[in-house]
Amino acid sequence: MKILITGGAGFIGSHLAEQCLERGDEVYIIDDLSTGGMDNIRHLKRHPKFVYYLDSINNVQLTAELVDTCDIIYHLAAAVGVRLIVESPVNTIETNVRGTEIVLGLAAKKRKRVLIASTSEVYGKRDHVPFREDDDLVLGPTVIGRWSYACSKAIDEFLALAYWKEKRVPTVIARLFNTVGPRQTGRYGMVVPNFVRQALSGQDITVFGDGHQSRCFTHVSDVVQLLIGLAEHPDAVGQVYNIGSNQEVSIQELAYRVKALAESPSKVINIPYEQAYEEGFEDMMRRVPDISKIRGLLGHAPKTSLDEILYSVIAYERERMTPGFAVSAA
């Protein structure tokens, strides 16, 4: 099969490219490296079935050629990361909505199958868990900040479902919960790579707030397997699926687990939110997916344990922090 991955040099995109290549697919990626990096795909560059374009999907002519060439499109290109999103809401909304419009518009010509990567953020500030796909998405009150991302992704979802309903373009929506693993950058505030780097360098491990807030972390390899399953399943068309695990951990406990597994002398400290983020930041207290829908469709769910996930990130970051390890941007 021929696969197009927008955002293919990103954290999840590069793992998806790798798994598709391993299955024998021909993989095309397009990425403007705004949040992805060449380091993520350097090891794939010489693969005979891997073709990469360092360009924006706003280059409609190129994107059109790629969409025409491929059988399945994984649309992963987006502005991501709470820190980046809070700092640049205009760019977040424009990138996410315009990019999806372009991809769906092009896919419509030959009714190509499109998987849209969405996010658990669309559930907004719900205080009951687990989140189910048929829950209402309530995103008020309107505070510009992290919710610009959620709103842009909710529009992407509606757009994708509208293309299915009105134009019979086979789309499927994957709502990703906290995905972690090697190659995730800590640059935009993601907690696991941040904690691991702090632990490995002996700095304080910074827990924001009182640390009672929790998340469910899923290994990127499990996420990618589910994405492939969804994109290829005929019954998934026109549907929304949560992708995540339901092993919940508090951020305070996470900090101590990272410290223990990395055998780090670091101290775990709590930092008030006002010092950690810009004004107007709101944290989510809990975020747990109901994963019965995807389990019902594909018959399996994420299997990597939290410790295994953390070990994989520690090993990756340890290697990168070794003196002499070369990191380059292009």
Instruction: Provide the binding-site residues for ligand UDP, judged by CB under 6 A.
Output: 82, 178, 189-191, 194, 206-208, 213, 215, 251, 283-284
Rg (CA), the chain: 19
Q: CB-wise, 105 or 189, nearer to ligand UDP?
A: 189
What is the DSSP-derived secondary structure letter of residue 71?
Answer: S
Q: Which residue out of 28, 149, 163, 241 is catalytically annotated?
A: 149
- At its nearest, how many Å lie between ligand UDP and the CB of residue 65? 34
Task: Give the CA distances from residue 237 to residues 41, 52, 116, in Å, rounded to whole numbers and listed in that order.
Answer: 29, 27, 11
- Residue nearer to ligand UDP on the CB measure, 63 or 178: 178
Instruction: Find where tokens 């060449």 sit.
Output: 38
Alpha helices in 30-88 (DSSP H): 60-69, 82-87
Beta carbon nearer to ligand UDP, 163 or 208: 208
Nearest to 177 by CA among 225, 212, 131: 131
Q: Which residues pair with 123 in a beta bridge?
A: none
163 is catalytic: no
CB atoms within 10 A of CB 297: 16
Checking 46-51 for CB contacts under 8 A at 24+ apart, the result is: 47/21, 49/21, 49/24, 49/25, 50/17, 50/21, 51/26, 51/27
Burial degree of 215 (CB within 10 A; 0-12, 13-18, 19+): buried
- Looking at the Cβ atoms of 84 and 236, the one nearer to ligand UDP is 84
CA distance readout (Å), 323 to 185, 204, 244, 317, 319: 19, 21, 35, 12, 9
- Measured from the CB atom, the residue of 19 and 213 that comes closer to ligand UDP is 213
Give catalytic residue positions.
149
